[in-house]
Structure 1
Amino acid sequence: MLRRLAPVVLSLLVMVLGVTALAARPQRSAPPHTADFVVVAGVAGLRWEDVDPRTTPTLWRMAERGSIGSLSVRSAHRPTCPVDGWLTLGAGSFAAWNGNRPAGGCPQQAVTVERPDGTGAKLPDQESVVHYNQEQLPWGAVPGSLAESVRCSVAVGPGAAVAAARPFGRVDRYAPALPEDPTQLLGSCVLSIVDLGTVAGTTRAQREAAARTADAQLARVLAARPPHSLVLVAGISDTDRSARLHVAVADGPGWERGWLTSPTTGRDGYLQLVDLAPTALAALGRPMPERLFVGRPAVAVDGRPDLADAIAKPLDAEREAANQRAVAGWFYTLLAAVLMLLAVAVLPLLRRARRHAGPHGPEPVPRRVVAVVELLLIAAALAVPAALLADAVPWWRAERPGLTFAGVTALLVAAGTAAVRFAPGYGSTLGPLGAVAALTALVVGADVVTGARLQLNGVVGYSAQAGGRYAGLGTVGLGVFLAAALLSAGWLAQQVRKGWRPAVMVAVTGLAVVIVGSPYLGADPIGAIALTAGLSVAAVISAGGWLTVSRLAWAVMAALGVTIGLAVLDLRRPVGERGSLGRFLAAFGDGTGGLTLHRFSTSNFDTLVSSPLTVLALAGALLVWFALLQPWGGLMRLFGIYPAMRAAMAGTAVAAVIGGVLGGVALDVAGAAAALVVPMAALAALRVLDHSTDRTVPTSGRPRGVGSGVAGEDGSGSDGGGTGGVGPLGDGGPGGAGGATGGRDAGRVQPGTATSDGPVG
């Protein structure tokens, strides 16, 4: 009884600890009421490369004493044109101006500002813009939400009028330009929004001239700022088709010499445009409008060095992100092409891998050819973790960054392949698979545990310029990590007794669930739910047998238990502290679930038709279905002899599909997982077919048809004689390979030699 209960108790303990770890969130104090007035000064197109002591002395001094960050200006349109940026600032959510625009461009868009009374202003187009964002865009933003949250606001310039206009178009106080002495104007309302112009141009001289003009305007604002005020300077938008990171500076009491960050990014030194409206209200001590803001108040964290060194960090990140976009395109294309070529090369090897016992049959493929193909499969499986590790080398600073990245990645792939080749147990059937999975899990897991520095702006990570993710585990990282974790767990489970296999699967993969879902680490609760679902399926079939209705019910109950536990704990937190899962469920409770589903479906479709990882996922599925799972493919035989590996691969498929669909990235997670799983499945299938006609020396006294006790392709004896093994197709038929097929260490006799077990498949 104790032996039976121990695996169950261990599994439950891991689940409880996992939910506890996922529920814990980093403790960040709420932004305090720090100002009586807030002035938001926006400069469209202002980037950190435009800031220096000579060109922008006022902004430089302000940044020296204040807090700084890199601002993602994502809006409902891409790229974010100036009018979209101003509108997003006023909405506190991803918004966009209606009207036609050239694909990928930012036209000069005139905003009509009427002044009926000489004090305020009116935007006649505002109501149609609100309708456009509410009815036709997936975010349901309400332009003017920031102005509606304060009693009075001031706008200076047409861009500021767009941000300060209330939903019906009224601007409380308006000036088309800064007056000679703006002191009285800026002190007339608690919130002022100032348009300092645009920094744009194709030459360095043009950008410097525009930045110098904006800096002179900023000097007048700072000279006239109200007492006890917070001044926010933001590069409010892009000015061309390229998405870039922009300037963000906060200067005021409590914002001295720090890094700006917000809960929406989770990484020090980064914040989003949608965070500026909540930051202004939090500094004023005003409540947030319910369900309207998607941003969160920014805070200042310590640890910023001198300004020159501090600016070098976002500049370097900007350069890496700019090169990442170009390099990632050809990397995924090349990876998909290599995997497809390897699939074509593996097909004839699978056809001829099974050795015939009779005198006639096709000549076997030379051992050297098989050995080379195996090494190529290992190298292909290690391509993604090698590309992740390559970001530890600053390849983007080289004169030819693409070639430098390719060279570093190739060296790391070669080193990883050599490590797997000379690792103990390489000659066994599952040896290479276990080594590759463990190495991949170690690389990705170590990066996430140490802050996911290689994920940010990495070729196989995520770009802060894209504005989708800034910290934790990215889409590609999630795919390879969940596959590596489940395969590693399956390999380890195969080494123990059947009764302990579910516990091993839960223990190993449960740790991966915590790494993925913890807000301190992977910060991906959707990925944690997907991995929990895959783990549940893998655990119930890891000891052998099929996924019966009762087993599926237990798996669903376990996955729902973890998910519901995490969701309940997340929903009990204050609104501003909830994770993405809590916000997702809260949206259905407050009637905005339709918009959430619309965003997910739109994102899934766009990703499905445009991502190169879709090709990887589909190509891997075709290879598995039409080759590896065929009678001559070897994968069914592998599953019959090694049920824990069947469980791991089934769990990977479930987790990858769920993670991609719920995460809004379609088949991207499955494509990343396929880059690891499919080459390793092909290699293991080749090896299990190579030993399909092996014979073992029978044990005297055994009845005919009973296994000899030396079972498993690697001689582990874990699923051997006495179980009936598998038939020629690995289907669990009598007289199959479970007892009659020996491992590499079991010894081989000549084909056709009579044994007490009779002929094998």
Structure 2
Amino acid sequence: MPSRRGPRRWVPHLLVALIAVGSLAGLAFRPEADTNPGSADYVILAGSAGLRWDDLDPQRTPTLWREASKGSIGWLSVRSAMRVTCPSDGWLTLGAGNYAAWPRSTSGSVCEPVAPALTQPDGIGANLTDQRTVVQNNQDRLPYGAVPGALAESVRCTYAFGPGAAMAAARPFGRVDKYQASFPATPPSGLLSECNLSIVDLGTISGTGTERETRVRTADALLARVVAARPQRSLMIVAGVSDTERSNRLHVAIAEGEGWNDGWLTSAGTGRDGYLQLIDLAPTVLTALAKPQPDKLFAGRNVTVVEGRPAGVADAMLGVHNADHRAIAQNAVAGIFFKVLAILQILLFLLAVPVMVRARRHTGPRGPALPPPRLILGLELALIAGALAIPAALLADATPWWRNSHPAWVFGSVTALFIAVGLALVRFAPRYGRTLWPLGATAGIAAMVVGFDLLTGAQLQLNGVAGYSAVNGGRYSGVGGVGLGVFVTGLLVLAGSLGQWITREWRPVVVVLLGGIGVVMVGSPYLGADPVGAIAVTAGVCVAAAITTGGWLTFSRFAWALLGGLIVTFGFALVDVSRPAADQSILGRVLTELLNGTAGPAMQRAAAANGQALLNSPLTILAVAGVLMLAFCQFSPWGGLNRLFGLHPALRAAGAGVTVATLIAGVLNGSALTVAGAAAATAVPTAVLTALRVLLHAADRTRPEGETDGPGGPLTRAATSPDVHASS
């Protein structure tokens, strides 16, 4: 008998190792490197601060409409080194190919006009007198390492028309090779072929109504003269280079030329068809001109063209597909949603405390009675609803709620409907009376919602209330911080719940199997596209697997968990670092910077982002409230969490894994407690529910005379639950 049992003990360990290797192999697959769709002898970049897609019209702006119809188009995120990109920041960022900023003198609600100090001593070019100071400020005071003028320094000659264009075309020491204050009404032959890069300022589009329409018409008429004067084998790029008010918007991006027709513009920096960043334009110009890119100065990636765009501009960019309008609604509603969620969950926890206290103090016929069954059932349903709020919000983003005149109310109503559906699925399931069913079922629903979204292109997260906004410029594809928190929590809590059904030696297999799926889905560039998040999930899975069989996280268990996590992490990192720099993910770029000693700015950016997210995100409140509630359940004699973990050690392992994964992911991704807050909002309510059930099971079931629990009530069902009696 021992000889037959001995080899079987190695089977779970072998399966764990195979799953880890499979996860590493799944992360190793990446898309092929993007290729430039066409080359050009000349590039003409026409920029207009504030130009948006809803400014375009076939009658008012025939030239812009024609260029958009012929060329490839996309939504342009104009993120710069400032929180809001004003025109001067946008033009400077364009010329730097990196997040840059122009010094500001005011902080009002409207951006300052573009008015750089210019001199023209020779009548040919121009000098930006403040350029050296601007370059020094971007190098010394901002954490992006931007060098304004890096684009101009990489080409033979630049020709700038207008003050904004001069800011983009100036070299780092301030010289603009050729300059005119405006594009001539009757341009001489060959004007745009004097330099291989010409930059034209089409003017600033601001205001509303007739005033805005007049400025758009003026810009369109100027663009018509530029298009008429463009030379052969030229690439025309039209971009709305900035905002004009202190609010973030998405803007126009058009590329028209040989090889650039009838498609979506995209870049490896966004990973989303139809989306590109302002910092992507500089490397695109150099690639189109077959010029080498400056080493370590550009933060953007080459823009490419993908097929699948609707034939009409209106069908592609306006109406139901207006991403700019959806992003505006998302920014407004997201803050409301998470604030309301934080308030409601805190109220739920406050209501749960006296119920738990009363459940623990029932000591016999002479003691106080247990809480009424209806109160317990109502509290249970409210806690389940709270845990389902974020997954329901993700599903609500599949509806066009943002097109309504009252988007917040419509979104709230749709979210409530999906919460009700999920609540019914959990409540009316035959296993509802089982102790772990609400916890495991809600975790499974959360993981399934996020997982299905990732498998279908993360459509629910882009510009979604429970996702991320393209105008913020942080992420455009894959899994966001909120989705990551919900997904890893759902997987590990589900693994912990399932682990209670099997023998201890096989529990690590369940945890690693579901965790390995999570690592691949989070880290794969085809799905979650978050390699840093994959590292965090790997760490959490290793910790959970190490203690899922029971006991505490001893040094030996921690060492094995750390070793397993490092093997997977460094395996993926080495594969990523071995690729060309342009094809590396953020993980490869960070490791490369660490190896060559240039990671200081990246660490500074991460620290600044963590500080901002910590102070400004309502999810920080959810994370803190969740920790305080779990601490109450853990250390109070009537909390019930210690008994829950004693009866179900796999759940304690899941909790430890979730904590490790979400904290690491938040810190490394610069989102502080955002990931942990989403995890707390998903898991803590049902953890409180489960702890309450354990308290009720442990209490004396004798009733004072005359008090009964109705047939089929939650106490009766709980008392007859087979898994509870087996555990007890």
TM range (shorter): over 0.9
In the alignment, the residues of structure 2 paired with residue 154 and residue 107 of structure 1 have an alpha-carbon distance, to the nearest angstrom, of: 24
Give the aligned length: 709
Residue of structure 1 equivalent to 2:642: 636
Residue of structure 2 equivalent to 1:707: none
Among candidates 18, 23, 29, match of residue 13 of structure 1 = 18
1:94 paired to 2:71: no
Residue of structure 1 equivalent to 2:211: 206
Residue of structure 2 equivalent to 1:723: none
Residue of structure 1 equivalent to 2:707: none
1:327 paired to 2:333: yes
How far 1:109 sits from its partner (Å)? 4.5
Among candidates 716, 721, 727, match of residue 744 of structure 1 = 721
Q: Deviations over 1:600-635 (max 9, x none)?
A: 111111111111111111111111113344221011
How far 1:191 sits from its partner (Å)? 0.8
Residue of structure 2 equivalent to 1:316: 322
Equivalent residue letter for 2:575: L
Show the 5 A alignment for 1:129-144.
129-144=134-149
More displaced 10-residue stretch of structure 1: 79-88 or 5-14: 5-14
* SS of structure 2 residue aligned to 1:481: helix
In the alignment, the residues of structure 1 paired with residue 513 and residue 442 of structure 2 have an alpha-carbon distance, to the nearest angstrom, of: 20
Equivalent residue letter for 1:306: A
Equivalent residue letter for 1:607: A
How far 1:306 sits from its partner (Å)? 1.5
How far 1:275 sits from its partner (Å)? 0.2
Structure 1: unaligned runs, 5 residues or longer = 696-712, 715-740, 750-756
Residue of structure 1 equivalent to 2:494: 488
How far 1:680 sits from its partner (Å)? 1.1
In the alignment, the residues of structure 1 paired with residue 277 and residue 676 of structure 2 have an alpha-carbon distance, to the nearest angstrom, of: 29
Q: Does the 8 Å contact 1:628/1:682 carry over to 2?
A: no
1:413 paired to 2:419: yes
Residue of structure 1 equivalent to 2:711: none
Show the 5 A alignment for 1:293-692.
293-307=298-312, 308-312=314-318, 316-354=322-360, 356-692=362-698
How far 1:572 sits from its partner (Å)? 0.6
In the alignment, the residues of structure 1 paired with residue 263 and residue 160 of structure 2 have an alpha-carbon distance, to the nearest angstrom, of: 28
Distance 1:144 1:494, change over 3 A: same
In the alignment, the residues of structure 2 paired with residue 276 and residue 602 of structure 1 have an alpha-carbon distance, to the nearest angstrom, of: 26
Residue of structure 1 equivalent to 2:194: 188
Distance 1:670 1:456, change over 3 A: same
Q: Does the 8 Å contact 1:153/1:192 carry over to 2?
A: yes
* SS of structure 2 residue aligned to 1:529: helix
1:162 paired to 2:162: no
In the alignment, the residues of structure 1 paired with residue 522 and residue 581 of structure 2 have an alpha-carbon distance, to the nearest angstrom, of: 22
How far 1:103 sits from its partner (Å)? 4.8
Q: Does the 8 Å contact 1:628/1:685 carry over to 2?
A: no
In the alignment, the residues of structure 2 paired with residue 513 and residue 552 of structure 1 have an alpha-carbon distance, to the nearest angstrom, of: 20
Residue of structure 1 equivalent to 2:42: 37
How far 1:401 sits from its partner (Å)? 1.3
Q: Deviations over 1:668-687 (max 9, x none)?
A: 11111000111011001011
Q: Does the 8 Å contact 1:479/1:670 carry over to 2?
A: yes
How far 1:748 sits from its partner (Å)? 8.0
Distance 1:109 1:43, change over 3 A: closer
How far 1:589 sits from its partner (Å)? 2.5
Q: Does the 8 Å contact 1:694/1:748 carry over to 2?
A: no
In the alignment, the residues of structure 1 paired with residue 105 and residue 28 of structure 2 have an alpha-carbon distance, to the nearest angstrom, of: 45
More displaced 10-residue stretch of structure 1: 127-136 or 29-38: 29-38
Q: Does the 8 Å contact 2:361/2:638 carry over to 1?
A: no
* SS of structure 2 residue aligned to 1:465: helix
* SS of structure 1 residue aligned to 2:119: coil
Distance 1:194 1:352, change over 3 A: same
Residue of structure 2 equivalent to 1:71: 76
Distance 1:459 1:427, change over 3 A: same
In the alignment, the residues of structure 1 paired with residue 206 and residue 189 of structure 2 have an alpha-carbon distance, to the nearest angstrom, of: 29
How far 1:318 sits from its partner (Å)? 1.5
In the alignment, the residues of structure 1 paired with residue 501 and residue 723 of structure 2 have an alpha-carbon distance, to the nearest angstrom, of: 17
Distance 1:269 1:593, change over 3 A: same
Residue of structure 1 equivalent to 2:65: 60
* SS of structure 2 residue aligned to 1:691: helix
How far 1:20 sits from its partner (Å)? 1.4
In the alignment, the residues of structure 2 paired with residue 358 and residue 438 of structure 1 have an alpha-carbon distance, to the nearest angstrom, of: 37
In the alignment, the residues of structure 2 paired with residue 480 and residue 67 of structure 1 have an alpha-carbon distance, to the nearest angstrom, of: 36
In the alignment, the residues of structure 1 paired with residue 263 and residue 188 of structure 2 have an alpha-carbon distance, to the nearest angstrom, of: 29
In the alignment, the residues of structure 2 paired with residue 193 and residue 314 of structure 1 have an alpha-carbon distance, to the nearest angstrom, of: 33
Equivalent residue letter for 1:679: P
In the alignment, the residues of structure 2 paired with residue 502 and residue 694 of structure 1 have an alpha-carbon distance, to the nearest angstrom, of: 35
- The alignment's TM-score, normalised by the length of structure 2, stands at 0.95
In the alignment, the residues of structure 1 paired with residue 700 and residue 516 of structure 2 have an alpha-carbon distance, to the nearest angstrom, of: 37
Distance 1:748 1:267, change over 3 A: closer
Residue of structure 1 equivalent to 2:85: 80
Q: Does the 8 Å contact 1:694/1:742 carry over to 2?
A: no
Q: Deviations over 1:390-448 (max 9, x none)?
A: 01111111222111111111111111101100123111110111110001111111011
Distance 1:155 1:579, change over 3 A: same
| Bigger RCO (CA 8 Å, 6+ sep) | 2
Distance 1:402 1:128, change over 3 A: same
How far 1:32 sits from its partner (Å)? 5.1
- The alignment's TM-score, normalised by the length of structure 1, stands at 0.91
Residue of structure 2 equivalent to 1:283: 288
In the alignment, the residues of structure 2 paired with residue 568 and residue 517 of structure 1 have an alpha-carbon distance, to the nearest angstrom, of: 15
Residue of structure 2 equivalent to 1:241: 246
How far 1:389 sits from its partner (Å)? 0.2
How far 1:208 sits from its partner (Å)? 1.1
Q: Does the 8 Å contact 1:182/1:221 carry over to 2?
A: no
Equivalent residue letter for 1:457: N
Distance 1:341 1:23, change over 3 A: same
Equivalent residue letter for 1:609: L
Structure 2: unaligned runs, 5 residues or longer = 1-5, 702-713
1:110 paired to 2:115: yes
How far 1:359 sits from its partner (Å)? 3.1
Q: Does the 8 Å contact 1:354/1:691 carry over to 2?
A: no
Q: Does the 8 Å contact 2:362/2:369 carry over to 1?
A: no
In the alignment, the residues of structure 2 paired with residue 517 and residue 103 of structure 1 have an alpha-carbon distance, to the nearest angstrom, of: 41
* SS of structure 2 residue aligned to 1:34: coil
Among candidates 196, 215, 220, match of residue 215 of structure 1 = 220
More displaced 10-residue stretch of structure 1: 96-105 or 676-685: 96-105
In the alignment, the residues of structure 1 paired with residue 230 and residue 114 of structure 2 have an alpha-carbon distance, to the nearest angstrom, of: 30
In the alignment, the residues of structure 2 paired with residue 19 and residue 56 of structure 1 have an alpha-carbon distance, to the nearest angstrom, of: 52
In the alignment, the residues of structure 1 paired with residue 119 and residue 220 of structure 2 have an alpha-carbon distance, to the nearest angstrom, of: 28
Equivalent residue letter for 1:421: R
* SS of structure 2 residue aligned to 1:344: helix
How far 1:314 sits from its partner (Å)? 8.1
How far 1:21 sits from its partner (Å)? 1.3
CA-based RMSD? 2.0
How far 1:100 sits from its partner (Å)? 2.3
In the alignment, the residues of structure 1 paired with residue 188 and residue 239 of structure 2 have an alpha-carbon distance, to the nearest angstrom, of: 20
How far 1:151 sits from its partner (Å)? 1.3
More displaced 10-residue stretch of structure 1: 403-412 or 357-366: 357-366
Equivalent residue letter for 1:275: D
How far 1:313 sits from its partner (Å)? 6.4
